[in-house]
Amino acid sequence: MNYLKGIVWIIIFSFYLFTIGTAIFPKKKAPYRFIAGYIVYLSASAIVGIPLQVLQGEWKIFYYYELILISVSLLISVIRILKRKISLFEKGMISHYWFVFLPAIAMIFISLFYNHYYWFNEATDGGFYLTRIATLPYIKNPFITNSSVGNIAYPKLLDVYNYSVFELNASFFVYLLDMIPTLFARGFLSLFNYFLFSCSIYCLADYINSQLKKPVEDYYLQYASVSLLIFGFCARQILDILGIYFYSGWAMNVAMYYGSMVVRSCGMIWLIIPLLEEKRFSIRSLSVYLITAFALFSLSPTSLPYSMSIFLCGIFINLLKEKRYLLFVYIIILVIVSLLIGNNTHADKDVHYIISLNIKTILPFMMALGIAYLLYHYQELQNMLFYSIGICLFCILPPFNYIIKRVSVYGFVMARFISSYYMFSILISLIGCLFILYHLIMKLRFHKLMISCLSVLLMIAVSMTAISLKVEYSQTTIKNELKLFLRHRYFAADSVKKLGQRVNQLDTKKDQNFVVLAPVYVRSFIEKVNETENTASIAVANSIRQFAPYCISLNGLDRYPANNDSRFIGYNKECISIYNDFIYRPSEKTYQNFVKRILNKFPVSVIVSINNDIKEYMKRSHYRLSYREGDQDTAYFYIYVKN
């Protein structure tokens, strides 16, 4: 039933966005209209979502606003389409776009072989983002609550998470569908975002093709989306085999449901294409740009270096074409502003690291290939060439990169921006190579059938290669990895899901006073990469609230220590160590220390252990063994509840 809900949601939500986009841009192609609808929807959601979070309002306000927004926007769009007699579907729509869906589905299929990464809660980043999605609708004060723990933690006024509404928006659908959050986010929301990326690649290919003197037939543009699968390889594989390093590249495989991942994959394409289409700055192009930038910002504030660099490049290109006499003045102003704001030295380490690591790899060749393709079509694609070079300079050339490093704030944000530039450059190279191949094949008989078959075969070959390499690195087999997913089919360790659901049943009052002590991590899995062993464990404490939104998972403070709740002042990593000593090495000494330092100081309702050796000690403290939950693949948990 949960899977059926997810499929129905994707179909209905995608059709809704497509309808919105069609009403606004009736003459654009279907992928463009779909993306435009999504951008407008995001912007409209953020208008209420951002102030609501900053002002710490009620989640229900957003819920009712979303219902009204979707209903009214759909009604207005339908009226506009009917009034202006706009054709909702293009002629030959299925034949021209059927392939665009397949790379997104292939990427999700590849992700099924990343079981341990999901169990690890994406190195516990999922302990924040996914838990936030899962809990926002259910807790009393959602915007002053440490989502990963459940305790009160007043955010700073300028807390970046106040300005991202992606998780807030996703929480609306989780609540509406009454769906298991891990499946919705890691499964269907990731699939949706992969589809966004696939459509974005189509739009990039479409623009390039529209500028060529000898364009390929529109029918072939859909097959350019096969380029998406180059990012289906595990980041560790790419680093090990090709030496290419994408900062936080693992997220492309297992965390596509992050709002920041939409920014990293689609952001440059969404911002550049409207400016390229208009040739020069105008009220229309600037309006589209600002709305797009705002929508990306609402996905994640990490979009600021994207929007800033592309805007500054746009000014340079417009002056170069229209008012060259002002170009020198503009450069001088940029230099002065850059020197005045100064360098963000904190970002230098990450920037130098990612550039130096990739300089001796195949990546410069692929980027040069893309530049060469743009140079070959210089008359038609010179603006795109200028943007490609300009963004590169804003990444690496001081003092111009001072501005971008400042708006990035953190080094990892700048490093991810540079990685996005790498991805954008690779896509241009791949699209160029595919266009050359299409021109060659088009000279042959049955060329449509040949290109269709070749694209499908290429998709299957790349997908299976990515899967094979991944499981090889994990020291397992394709069959065993797939069986493992089928036993843990909600994109989470089934034992943790059962534990969370059991805690949710125990928590009868649902008042955020049900405090749970659970292991931070249990059991380790070894993956061999670059002749070194990497350990991944099952994250428990930061995962419980994905299934038990009302409880307080106190050991979640290990990763997310923010706390303004007087009940938990003083609970720190030392306390977590005392808890670990007791449940893993129960003795009179560890028990007495556990009682003195934890049970006598903090209101603990439930204690979770991975063995039953603490049973007699728990009886002395008036905790009874209530349930045993788990499975042989991961772990068994013993749940002790205070009488």
DSSP 141: S
- Mean pLDDT lowest among 152-156, 357-361, 447-451, 591-595: 152-156
Give the pLDDT of residue 530: 43
Q: Cα–Cα–Cα angle for 459, 463, 469, nearest 5°? A: 150
Q: Are 180 and 321 in contact (CB under 8 A)?
A: no
DSSP 169-237: HHHHHHHHHT--HHIIIIIIIHHHHHHHHHHHHHHHHHHHHHH-SSPPPGGGGGGGGGGGGGGGS-HHH
Tokens 């009886």 locate to 619
CA dist list (Å): 479 to 117, 127, 471, 474, 495: 18, 29, 10, 13, 21
Give the model confidence (pLDDT) of 498-535 as tens digits.
999 999 999 888 888 899 999 999 877 665 544 445 56
Which pLDDT band holds residue 83 (cuts at 50, 70, 90)?
very high
Q: What is the pLDDT of residue 447?
A: 86
Q: What are phi and psi of 72, to 5 degrees?
A: -70, -45
DSSP 1-61: -HHHHHHHHHHHHHHHHHHHHHHH-TTS-HHHHHHHHHHHHHHHHHHHHHHHHHTT--HHH
* Closest to 184 (Cα-Cα) out of 12, 1, 6: 6
pLDDT at 512: 81
Residue 302 DSSP code: G
The residue with tokens 């501005």 is 403
Burial of residue 156, with CB atoms counted within 10 A of its CB: 0-12 exposed, 13-18 middle, 19 or more buried = exposed
What residue type is 426 in one-letter code?
I
> What does the pLDDT look like over 278-315, one tens digit per residue?
777 788 888 999 999 999 999 999 999 999 999 999 99
Q: What is the pLDDT of residues 116-167, one digit of tens each?
A: 889 888 877 888 999 999 999 999 889 989 999 999 987 766 678 889 999 9
244: how many CB neighbours lie within 10 A of its CB? 22
Tell me, what's the pLDDT at 405? 92
pLDDT at 529: 46
Q: What is the C-alpha end-to-end distance of the chain, expressed in Å?
A: 36
- DSSP labels for 504-557? HHH--S-SS--EEE--SEEEEEEEEETTEEEEEEEE-TTTGGGT-TTSEEGGGG
Residue 68 pLDDT: 97
| SS3 assignment for 458-488 | HHHHHHHHHHHHHHHHCCCCHHHHHHHHHHC
Label residue 475 by pLDDT band (50, 70, 90). Answer: low
In sequence order, what DSSP letters do the residues of 89-134 get, joined into one string?
Answer: S-TTHHHHHGGGHHHHHHHHHHHTT-HHHHHTTTTTTHHHHHHHHH
- In this prediction the pTM is 0.95
> What single-letter DSSP state applies at residue 571?
-
Dihedral in degrees, nearest 10, Cα atoms 101, 104, 109, 114: -170
Where is 619: in which H helix or E strand?
helix 615-620
More confident residue, 353 or 639: 639
Give the pLDDT band (50/70/90) at residue 73. very high
Q: What percent of the chain has pLDDT over 70?
A: 97
The proportion of the chain whose per-residue pLDDT surpasses 90, expressed as a percent, equals 67
Give the DSSP letter string of 359-395: TTSSHHHHHHHHHHHHHHTHHHHHHHHHHHHHHHHHH
The listed range with the strongest mean pLDDT (82-91, 441-450, 545-554) is: 545-554
pLDDT value of position 531: 44
Helix (H) or strand (E) holding 628, with range, is strand 623-630
Q: What is the pLDDT of residue 246?
A: 87
pLDDT tens per residue across span 551-563: 999 999 999 999 9
- Provide the token pair at 386: 């200028």
Long-range contacts of the stretch 500-505 (C-beta < 8 A, 24+): 500/543, 500/544, 500/545, 500/546, 500/547, 500/548, 501/547, 501/548, 502/627, 502/629, 502/639, 503/544, 503/547, 503/548, 503/551, 503/606, 503/639, 504/547, 504/548, 504/549, 504/550, 504/551
Cβ atoms of residues 256 and 198 within 8 Å: no
pLDDT of res. 611: 87
The DSSP output letter for 595 is: I
Q: Give the model confidence (pLDDT) of 177-197 as tens digits.
A: 999 999 999 999 999 999 999
pLDDT (0 to 100) of residue 535: 63
Per the prediction, the chain carries an average pLDDT of 91
Average pLDDT (585-603) is 94
